[in-house]
């Protein structure tokens, strides 16, 4: 029998965009727990932020931080030594870390360099906890967690379309990448899809036969959605789906945020 693995974005997907609550998804979350289905958080959020929600969810599974920058695997989670199948994990606290993203210090240097070229950008590293809280709707404590970054730098861009083209060209020359969700994110050669592919490989080795589901709402989720058997896009707060998410076999969730998440997960799981 196939083992089911679920990957999920947080903001605007499992979490309500305004309240950061997953209450509307509780029926599906309870069902997942009863069936012992791994739920893998794959978010632009930091390790500290994701750990906060993992505790709330009582989630003990691997997770992916900062748009695929790092894969954190609890020690002894898999029944084999991942270092013997081509990966070089770092030991960090209670996890094995597979590092895919750029160094945060290098990204901060790039932000400063871009500003020197006249580009009007402001990263999380330039903001106070209060400023981050105001633009995100997070509490001050949550803003502190959002600022503890390892692999990517969220930023606000104040320019017009012509300046945006200049921004993209300069980032490309730096051999860096950019993705967009709620904010722009400056990052290295990593994305959610690359991280998800690695975990799929590990789960296949562990369980042999698996089916994969992923849920997201923004363009930065597209690389993740492309890698799974059942890709789901949920509606945004305006009731619409992001027009940039185009896949031939995309499943459109019936509902906004966690409500759509709940409906789609239950529907897919019952069909399987």
Return the pLDDT at 175: 94
Question: Are residues 62 and 50 in contact, defined by beta-carbon separation less than 8 angstroms?
Answer: no
- Give me the mean pLDDT over the 251-257 stretch: 95
Selected catalytic residue, list 9, 152, 217, 242: 9
Domain limits, CATH 3.40.50.1000, in the chain? 3-101+191-271
Question: Percentage of the chain surpassing pLDDT 70?
Answer: 99
Give the 3-state secondary structure of residue 246. Answer: coil
Q: Which of 67, 39, 16, 58 is nearest to 181 (CA)?
A: 67
- Give me the mean pLDDT over the 127-147 stretch: 94
Please, which pLDDT band fits residue 85 given cuts at 50, 70 and 90? confident
Return the pLDDT at 255: 94
Return the pLDDT at 49: 95
Question: CA quadruple 188, 191, 196, 197: dihedral positive or negative?
Answer: negative
Return the pLDDT at 179: 85
Return the pLDDT at 159: 86
Return the pLDDT at 24: 96
Return the pLDDT at 93: 83
User: Does the active-site annotation cover 217?
Assistant: no
Return the pLDDT at 74: 96
Q: Is the pLDDT of residue 68 over 90?
A: yes
Rounded Cα–Cα distance for residues 222 and 215 (Å):
10
Dihedral in degrees, nearest 10, Cα atoms 145, 148, 153, 154: 10
Return the pLDDT at 235: 95
Neighbours of 222 (CB within 10 A): 21
The CATH code of the domain at 104-187 is 3.30.980.20
Q: Which residues contact 82 (CB under 8 A, 6 or more apart)?
A: 73, 89, 96, 98, 202
Q: Is the pLDDT of residue 161 over 90?
A: no
Q: Is the pLDDT of residue 182 over 80?
A: no
Mean of per-residue pLDDT scores for the chain: 94
| pLDDT, tens digit, 9 for 90 and up, residues 99-114 | 999 999 999 999 999 9
Is domain 3-101+191-271 classified as CATH 3.40.50.1000? yes
Return the pLDDT at 44: 92
Q: Which of 64, 101, 104 is nearest to 197 (CA)?
A: 64
Please, which pLDDT band fits residue 57 given cuts at 50, 70 and 90? very high
Q: Is the pLDDT of residue 200 over 80?
A: yes
Q: Is the pLDDT of residue 160 over 80?
A: yes
- Give me the mean pLDDT over the 49-66 stretch: 97
Supply 236's token pair.
């945004």
Domain limits, CATH 3.30.980.20, in the chain? 104-187
């Amino acid at each position: 029998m196939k083992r089911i693995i679920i990957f999920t974005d947080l903001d605007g997907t499992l979490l309500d965009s305004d309240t950061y609550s997953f209450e509307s998804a509780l029926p599906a979350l309870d069902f997942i727990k009863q069936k012992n289905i791994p739920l893998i958080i794959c978010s632009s959020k930091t390790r500290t932020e994701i750990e906060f929600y993992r505790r709330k969810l009582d989630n003990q599974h691997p997770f992916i931080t900062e748009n695929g920058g790092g894969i954190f695997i609890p020690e002894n989670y898999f029944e084999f030594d991942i270092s013997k199948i081509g990966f070089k994990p770092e030991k960090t606290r209670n996890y094995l870390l597979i590092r895919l993203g750029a160094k945060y210090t290098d990204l901060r240097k790039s932000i400063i360099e871009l500003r020197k070229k006249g580009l009007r950008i402001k990263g999380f590293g330039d903001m106070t906890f209060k400023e981050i809280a105001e633009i995100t709707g997070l509490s001050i404590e949550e803003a502190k967690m959002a600022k503890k970054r390892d692999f990517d730098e969220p930023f606000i861009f104040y320019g017009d379309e012509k300046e945006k083209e200049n921004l993209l060209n300069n980032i490309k020359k730096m051999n860096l990448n950019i993705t967009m969700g709620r904010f722009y994110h400056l990052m290295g050669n990593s994305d959610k899809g690359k991280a998800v592919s690695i975990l799929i490989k590990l789960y296949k080795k562990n369980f042999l036969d698996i089916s994969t589901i992923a849920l997201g709402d923004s363009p930065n989720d597209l690389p993740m959605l492309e890698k799974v058997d059942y890709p789901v896009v949920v509606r945004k707060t305006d009731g619409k789906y992001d027009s940039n998410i185009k896949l031939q076999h995309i499943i459109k969730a019936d509902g906004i945020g966690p409500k759509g998440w709940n409906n789609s997960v239950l529907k897919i799981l019952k069909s399987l």
